[in-house]
Amino acid sequence: MTKSILIKTAIPVTVLAAGIFLCAGGVAARAAILDGTDAELTVYAMDKKYEFRYPEIDRSEGLLYLKNCEEVVDGIFYDTVIRPRDAEAKIDPKKSYPFSFTSEKNGKCVDKEKLVLEISDALNRGISEVRAPVVVLKPSVSVADLKAETVYRASFTTEFKNSVEERKDNIALACKYIGGRRLANGETFSFNDAVGERTEKRGFSSAKIIENGKFTEGVGGGVCQVSSTLYNAALLAGLEISERHSHSLAVGYVEPSFDAMVSTGYADLKISNRTGGGIYIVMTASREKVTAKIYGRKMDERYERVSKVKEEISPPAEQFIDSADMTIGETKAIVYPKKGLISVGYLERYDGGKLTERKLLSSDKYAPMQGIVLKGIKPSEDDGGN
């Protein structure tokens, strides 16, 4: 490939010694030819060729110089540079070890400083060809680097085999939106940002949710089990929790004070990575279980969760609702009473099998739930309808 670069602005020259001048790019030129129109220079850089002649090579007061020398070398650099390629990790959440790697690759480029000097030397000595020196560009991330930060740290699993199909679908969809993702050191993960708004348009279904201290139907029911599962895995992996909320009612899939309620717009689960390296979050769901796995740098410590119930709160007396579909004397519970709780959650750290720290995570209050019973008011046939 042949390139000719024409630069019209002449560069001022400075007398160095008898017969030697310096161009603005640091190139010294010796007056080998009094007529600048006869001077030629070819630069071979990587697999490309660049030819220079008058007026790119000109003379001033009988001495040769290359115009805009450093700018020319910059142009050669950017025209030929091959950037290095960092190693990459791909994640397949379905695999037991979910990572596969693409190897890093070196790049290369001309050595700009040396090329300027060699052009200077060639022009000074009347040499017509220069081969640009090449340097290797190393990638910043290698497969070894990635393998060092994809070590298993912790996982947590909760079950939902008795849930309705719509709730199971919501759990699976939330896990799909999270999938597998990397959290850089110092970065914070937002559950709401990752999963997005829970709407029917985005594929979420209506299922039971907790709202204002009651179980009710709502789009996205079951997503809080995903966030609670991830919360516990993050604790066991030694990650920092920067935002977490408890439910108004105790849930059955995790111990008290270890749930993590989320709601679009006002309640989020946020996890910060302060481990000094990258962290990978991988979430999967079957039709019975949801699992969160955390990978990163190897852990020397171990963490355990401790839930303690400090007080139980009795539910109010059952509420009876008349039902004309049931005969007098028949009853049917539609909401079972549930005790409220006051609980605390601790995280214990063990180093070498020895307890070194016990941290209070939260103190939570879960409301009791009133039972609701349907009471028949329809006269039986034995009563003759009276």
Alpha helices in the chain (DSSP H): 69-80, 112-125, 143-148, 165-178, 191-195, 223-236
**Distance of CA 361 to CAs 29, 229, 269, 364, 367, Å?**
73, 16, 14, 10, 20
Between 378 and 112, whose confidence is greater?
112
Confidence of residue 215 (pLDDT cuts 50, 70, 90): low
Residue with tokens 């171990």: 302
- pLDDT tier for residue 210 given thresholds of 50, 70 and 90: low
Q: Which CATH architecture has domain 301-386?
A: Single Sheet (2.20)
pLDDT band of residue 6 (cuts 50, 70, 90) is: very low
Measured CA to CA, the distance from residue 118 to residue 133 in angstroms comes to 9
Residue 346 has pLDDT above 70, yes or no: yes
Q: Is the pTM of this model over 0.85?
A: no
Q: Does the structure show a pLDDT above 90 at 374?
A: no
pLDDT bucket at 232, cuts 50 / 70 / 90: very high
If one compares 215 and 362, the residue with the highest pLDDT of the two is: 362
The number of angstroms, rounded, from the C-alpha of 216 to the middle of its chain's C-alpha atoms is: 34
Q: How confident is the model over 325-344, as a mean pLDDT? A: 89
18-29 pLDDT, tens digit per residue, is 233 334 333 433
Tell me what pLDDT residue 383 has.
59
Q: Does pLDDT of 283 surpass 80?
A: yes
Cα(23)–Cα(82) distance, rounded to whole angstroms? Answer: 29
Q: Is the pLDDT of residue 56 over 50?
A: yes
The one-letter amino acid code at 18 reads: A
pLDDT class for 211, splitting at 50, 70, 90?
low
Instruction: Name the pLDDT band for 7 (thresholds 50, 70, 90).
Output: very low
- Structure confidence by residue, pLDDT tens digits, 31-52: 334 455 577 899 999 999 999 9
Of 127, 116, 112, 120, nearest in space to 21 by CA: 120
Q: Smallest Cα–Cα separation from 57: which of 35, 77, 26, 78?
A: 35
CA atoms within 13 A of residue 333's CA, in its CB half-sphere: 7
CB neighbour list of residue 192: distance below 8 Å, 6 or more residues apart: 262, 264, 265, 268, 269
More confident residue, 95 or 6: 95
Segments of the chain assigned to CATH 2.20.230: 301-386
Task: Please give the average per-residue pLDDT across 83-87, as a whole number.
Answer: 97
Predicted confidence at residue 61, as pLDDT, reads 67
* pLDDT confidence band for 318 (50 / 70 / 90): confident
Does the pLDDT of residue 3 top 80, yes or no? no
84: Cβ contacts below 8 Å, ≥ 6 apart: 104, 105, 106, 107, 137, 138, 139, 140
What pLDDT was estimated at residue 213?
60
- Burial status of residue 34 (CB atoms within 10 A of its CB: 0-12, 13-18, 19 or more): exposed
The torsion angles phi and psi of 172, rounded to 5 degrees, stand at -65, -40
